[in-house]
Amino acid sequence: MLDRASPVPLTVQLAQTLRASILDGTIKRDEALPATRALARTLGISRGTVVTAYDQLLGEGYLLAHPRRGTVVSLSLPAASADGRPPAPGRSRPGAPEDSEPWADLMPGHPGTRGLAGASWKAAWRRAVAESDRVWLPPAAGTPELRQAVAGHLRRARGLNCQPDDVIVTAGTSEALLLLATGLRPSGRMLRIAVEDPGYPTARRVLHAAGAEVQGVGAAADAIDLRRLKALRPRPDAVLVTPSHQYPLGGRMSVQDRADLLAWAAEHRVVVIEDDYDSEFRHTRMPLPAMASLDTEGITVLVGAFSKVLTPWLRCGYIVAPGALGDRLRQARAALDTPVSGIQQQALAHFINSGGLARHIARTRREYAHRRRLVLDKLGNLPGVVLGGLDGGLHVTVQFARPAEPLIAAAAERGIRLASLADYGVDGTGLNGLVIGYGAPSDLTLSSALNVVASLLDGG
């Protein structure tokens, strides 16, 4: 099974052997693999080598960590369909209506959740449930335990020297923006907030719904155009930016531009809202510290969530706001009360403090880096196709000359769901191209879907 004289690492050899055995039917669906310690003893290798190989195949969708049966095979391959992809049970088939469920959902913003429900995750929730006999409501700003855990996580992961009292717990990014629109609203008029164009459509919808006036500012691949921002009249009360990974184009704001933005904002008392939506996942360069770490004037609010790191079903995130700005937001939160259950907050605090979050991030970072390589392999060499946003995160932009909408429709007919880059423009006339999310699908589904997309891009 393993060739110790080969230059190929033992982990890679083991993963290749197991993958091949699953694909040729030697190991069948629902069959349990040996325990990692037992297989390591049998093969005369370290348990860590086996664990890493199993983790790789878990991320690719070949295996499933079963709570009672250990690691089992989760893949069963039927015959390939006419368009070259394996149809999945319960998903759309060739000739099925376009509105049936896609077999490959490549919409951006969806993380992979395989492997989340491990021992640390379950233990955190058991501890939280055991503490659920409290008779008072959770504090409006969040439980002390979660605020302290979030502050510690941000110090380690984002270089942000914040205190627990600076943290306000939210029900995700959208609810955080609602809170900001409430807490920052000037007396007697609408809140004016500048946003990146292209940018995050949901953020614009939420701010509109909260009664804010949204002003679009052009963004290049790197960041918001500071010249255009400074020229806006009337001047905005706040500006929403994604400096670590511009959404959706994927660039990052340089240190000089961050300093210039903060200096201008401090001079005119403009609040800078930093959406730090997927900063944990960087594939080619070390991430810059959060822009909020450069702020010495107390004008920056950092917004984060656990949606991309863990699962959107949690609907839990945080705002970090210091000083007087934080006081305004805490007053708004006190008036609205907390939207996140105490049990959930305690479970997250235990999960972070146990090291479970850090381990989960490290594992998923490896999985996403592997899927990023799949995207590059399948689409990176197509003539006339330009990929962007691949330095980090869970999605890639794909730009090309011909109109994207017919290609998106053709992909939908084949059971593949894609996003249009044009939809991210403020005025509905954004850039031509695709936004492909690669976080949620298994490697097998992603690879099959990308084959179809590549064929369409190549004129097929």
How far is 373 from 305, CA to CA, in rounded Å? 26
Q: How far apart are CA 223 and CA 198, in angstroms?
A: 10
pTM value > 0.85? no
Sequence-distant (6+) residues with CB within 8 A of 283 are 368, 369, 372, 390, 391, 392
Are 332 and 372 found together in one domain?
A: no
pLDDT confidence of residue 427: 79
Q: Which candidate, 278, 284, 354, 342, places its Cα nearest to that of 310?
A: 278
| Domain closes at, from 309, 329, 354 | 354
Same domain assignment for residues 319 and 412: no
pLDDT at 91: 37
Q: How confident is the model at residue 459 (pLDDT cuts 50, 70, 90)?
A: confident
Stronger pLDDT, 114 or 153, i.e. the higher one = 153
User: Is the domain of 325 the same as that of 388?
Assistant: no
Report residue 346 as tokens: 């305690």
- DSSP 8-state secondary structure symbol assigned to residue 308: T
Residue 98 · residue 415 · CB < 8 Å = no
Read off the pLDDT of residues 89-136 as tens digits, 9 standing for 90 and up: 333 333 334 445 789 999 998 888 877 878 899 999 999 999 888 878
Residues 202 and 219 grouped into a single domain? yes
From residue 314, how far is each of 69, 166, 197, 240, 307 by CA, in Å? 27, 22, 28, 23, 7
Residue 123 CA, distance from chain mean position = 24
> Is residue 340 located within the same domain as residue 418?
no
Does residue 250 belong to any structural domain of this protein?
yes
Domain boundary among 307, 331, 354: 354
Same structural domain, 367 and 342: no
State the CATH number of the domain containing residue 20.
1.10.10.10
Q: Give yes or no for residue 276 having a pLDDT over 80.
A: yes
SS3 of residue 103 by DSSP:
coil
When pLDDT is averaged across residues 421-443 and rounded to a whole number, the result is 89
In the chain, % of residues over pLDDT 90:
59
Determine, yes or no, domain membership for 94. Answer: no
Which residue type, as a one-letter code, is found at position 222? Answer: D
Is residue 272 a part of any domain in this protein? yes
* Amino acid, res. 149: A
HSE-CB at 169 with a 13 A cutoff on CA atoms is: 28
DSSP string over 369-412: HHHHHHHHHHHTT-TT-EEE-TTBSSEEEEE-SS-HHHHHHHHH
Residue 26 resides in a domain: yes
User: Which pLDDT band, with edges at 50, 70 and 90, does 5 fall under?
Assistant: confident
pLDDT in tens, 355-413: 999 988 888 888 888 889 999 999 999 999 999 988 888 899 999 999 999 999 999 99
CA distance 20 to 259: 52
SS3 for 353? helix
Q: Within this chain, do residues 345 and 369 fall inside the same structural domain, yes or no?
A: no
Q: Tell whether 295 and 149 lie within a shared domain.
A: yes
Whether the predicted pLDDT of 81 surpasses 90: no
Residue 262's DSSP bridge partners are: none
Residue 354, pLDDT score: 95
Give the count of domains, the chain: 3
Residues 332 and 369 in one domain: no
Q: Does residue 78 lie in a domain region?
A: no
What DSSP state is assigned to residue 137? Answer: P
For residue 318, give both structure tokens: 């945080």
CA 347 vs CA 113, 131, 140, 316, 448: distances in Å:
17, 10, 17, 12, 37
348 and 371 belong to one structural domain: no
330 or 86, greater pLDDT: 330
DSSP-derived pairing of the beta strands 70-73 and 63-66: antiparallel
- Does the pLDDT at position 228 exceed 50? yes
Whether residues 342 and 381 share a domain: the answer is: no
| Residue 80 counted as domain residue | no
Other Cβ atoms within 10 Å of 55 Cβ, number: 19
Give the tens place of pLDDT for each residue, 302-348. Answer: 999 998 889 989 999 999 999 999 999 999 999 998 899 999 999 99
Query: Is residue 113 assigned to a domain?
Result: no
Question: What beta strand segments (E) does 190-278 contain?
Answer: 192-197, 213-218, 238-241, 271-275
Q: What is the pLDDT of residues 21-40, one digit of tens each?
A: 887 788 888 889 999 999 99
Which H or E run includes 303? strand 300-305
pLDDT for residue 67: 66
Q: Which domain holds residue 434?
A: 361-457
> 3-state DSSP: the chain helix, strand, coil percent, rounded to 5?
40, 15, 45
Looking at the fold, whether 144 and 283 belong to one and the same domain comes out as yes
Q: How many CB atoms lie within 10 A of CB 88?
A: 19
- Check which CATH number belongs to the domain holding 377 and give it: 3.90.1150.10
Distance, CA of 72 to CA of 44 (rounded, Å): 22
The sign of the dihedral angle between the CA atoms of 335, 340, 341, 346 is negative
Maximum separation of any 2 CA atoms in the chain, in Å = 76
What pLDDT sits at residue 21?
87
- Across-strand partners of 224? 219
* Domain containing residue 246: CATH number: 3.40.640.10
Look over the chain and give the mean of its residue pLDDT values, rounded to a whole number.
Answer: 88
Task: From 354, 371, 397, give the residue that closes a domain.
Answer: 354
Residue 27 placed within a domain = yes
